[in-house]
Amino acid sequence: MNDIVKSSVDARKQAIYNSYCIEGSEVENDVNNLFKEIESFASKYNDVMDFENAFQSSDLNKKYTDIFTVVASKCSPKAIETTDAYEDTTYNETSDAMYIADELGRPIRRQARQQIDDKLRSTPIVGDIMSAKQHIDFFSRFKKNKDEK
C-alpha cells in the first residue's frame, strides 16, 4: 500500500479515535474490524485518487458512515486539550495531522448528524416538536424584521 493511501486510511481512523472515547467501549471491536477491512481494500491501490474514488463508491464507505453514527451515539466525545504552541515542539506536525483528520471526518460527522436528525424527526412526538420549533424560528424572523422597521 502506498504511504499516501495509508495516510488517508489512518486519517479516517484518527477522525474517530481523536473525537470519541472508544477504548474499552462496546463498539471498539466493530471499529477495529472495519478498519481491517478498509486496510485490506486499500492495499490494492497505489494511487490515492484511485483509492478515494473506489472507496467512495464501495460498501465500506457506507459502513464507515454507519460506524461513525454508532460511535457518535454510544461513545462520549473527547475533550480537546490545548497547548501553548511555543512549548510544544511537535505542535505544527500534530496540528497538521489533526487538521487533516478533522477535514476527512467532517463529511462523515455531517452524515452521522443528519442520520440522527432524520431518525429523531421520524419519531412521532419528537418530530412534531422539532417541526413546531422550526416553524416558530422561521416566523419569528419576520416579526423581528417588522419590529425593526
pLDDT of residue 78: 78
pLDDT of residue 38: 92
pLDDT of residue 107: 84
pLDDT of residue 106: 83
CA distance 94 to 90: 6
pLDDT of residue 37: 94
pLDDT of residue 39: 93
- Residue 145's SS3 state is helix
- Amino acid 91 reads Y
CA distance 42 to 136: 48
Q: Do residues 38 and 9 touch, judged by C-beta distance below 8 A?
A: yes
Q: What is the mean pLDDT of each run of 10 residues along the chain (149 residues)?
A: 84 86 85 92 88 88 87 80 54 68 80 84 83 85 65
Cα 17 to Cα 12, 21, 89, 116, 133, distances in angstroms? 9, 7, 23, 20, 34
